[in-house]
Structure 1
Amino acid sequence: MHLARSNRKVRLRPSLTPMIDVVFLLMVFFMLAAQYSRETTLSVHAAPRSAENTPYVGPPRLVDVTPQGFLLNGVTTPFAQLTEQLSFLMSDPADTILVRASDGVSVQELVDLLGHLSAAGLPNAVLVEGQ
């Protein structure tokens, strides 16, 4: 038996299905990786260097953040009652609140505290150096 050979070249067309699959996978990846929430910012102020020689005026409002919890003027205060206790010491919501973090405190705890104070209408928290 003799098979005849054709001189015609058959053009193979590449399939687009794998490319379309890859494009859809990339779309799904970027859609899942995108952040849909609005990011919020906290304004954090550091005590100015010129304030070292200036005495603090007003009732003490020092919030110490420790690994064990929160201290308001040296007294252990639960996180939920912190703003209520601070309101007794403040004549105006714009009064300055001093925040001091001790060793071993995570940054997230400090951010949670600053966010809690800001949400409660007490935006003037100033970070001071710990001892």
Structure 2
Amino acid sequence: MEVVSSFVERIFESQYQQAFGPVPSLASQTDELTLTRESEGELIVVLQAKITLQNAHVTALVVDEGHHGQGLGADLMAELEELARARQLTSITLSTKSYQAEGFYRKLGYQIYGQLQDVPQKGMTKYHFVKYL
């Protein structure tokens, strides 16, 4: 797997250098961010994002089932937006599926920029969202 990862990284790095010139590597411009909340010592909500250049991409927002509807996910999204603005990012992107949280992200002001019908399987839709800061 190391050989595969190294190959992918080398190709992406070459594309990055071609697009942006001799600037610091893409790897050095990528940061992972994790925001959490706990209750009684147990994780109840986690938000993970990958920051590259001027965009934060949410890779996961997970709320424990017993804590749905308490605004915890919205609080972490607001915290992410605040951190993104402080870092002078220009956008936040994410993907969700029709059985997950499409309406939640719409309420937070995210806009659909693309959708895939019958993904990940027939009868479902995968949505791609963006919010410009």
With the length of structure 1 as denominator, give the TM-score of the two structures: 0.29
With the length of structure 2 as denominator, give the TM-score of the two structures: 0.29
Name which one, 1 or 2, has greater alpha-carbon Rg: 1
Structure with higher strand content: 2
